[in-house]
Amino acid sequence: MSEPHGRPQFCQRCGSPLAPREEEGRTRLACAGTSERASCGFVHYVNPTPVVAAIVQQGEHVILVRNHGWPETWYALVTGFLETNETPEEGILRELGEELGMKGEIRALVGNYAFAQKNEVILAYHVEVPAGDPTLGAELAAYKRVPIAKLKPWPFATGEAVRDWLAKVRPTT
């Protein structure tokens, strides 16, 4: 059982150790209690983390980004974790500002996508930005503009959103 920040060892409610236990037909981590204290009943469900993503369109191009630490050939969509008390729409516009220093306008929800390998649910949006050069935020190493006509989806996570968006903007006849 894993989660984005590693496997928890202690109950977030009472601090007792967590141990595997059968719950609702699955093995889950649950409060085991201690010799001094009974279990508080907490079950760690390892719920997926919500992530927002943007297909950033600028004219006839899409802006893709590369994070620090990624291979030089890897580029993807602007993404980020949804913050507490934030709507997905607010979240993606915040991420656009933090990562590219740009303001944009949401055109449509593209869809939602499971990224099981990282235990994430991705909410992807089509966002248009005005002309101008991005200003890279601290998380990014580079960006590139790709003509929509040459954009190709990748086979997982945000690549599925690119695939679905391209099917709408470049329908096959």
Structural domain range at position 24? 1-46
pLDDT score for 3: 42
- pLDDT tens, position by position, 27-46: 999 999 888 888 898 998 88
Domain boundary (46, 61, 78) is at 46
Are 104 and 165 members of one domain? Answer: yes
* pLDDT grade for 5, boundaries at 50, 70 and 90: low
Are 72 and 154 members of one domain? Answer: yes
- pLDDT tens, position by position, 142-152: 999 999 999 99
Average confidence (pLDDT) over 66-76: 95
| Mean pLDDT of the residues in the chain | 92
pLDDT score for 173: 46
Average confidence (pLDDT) over 59-75: 96
Answer with the residue of higher pLDDT: 155 or 78.
78
According to the 3-state scheme, what is the secondary structure of 69-133? CCCCCCCECEEEECCCCCCHHHHHHHHHHHHHCCCCEEEEEEEEEEEHHHCEEEEEEEEECCCCC
* pLDDT grade for 65, boundaries at 50, 70 and 90: very high
Domain boundary (13, 31, 46) is at 46
Are 40 and 59 members of one domain? Answer: no
Report which secondary-structure segment, H or E, holds 168.
Answer: helix 158-169
Query: How many structural domains are present in the chain?
Result: 2
Are 77 and 22 members of one domain? Answer: no
pTM of the complete model: 0.81
User: Looking at the predicted structure, is the pLDDT value of residue 78 above 90?
Assistant: yes
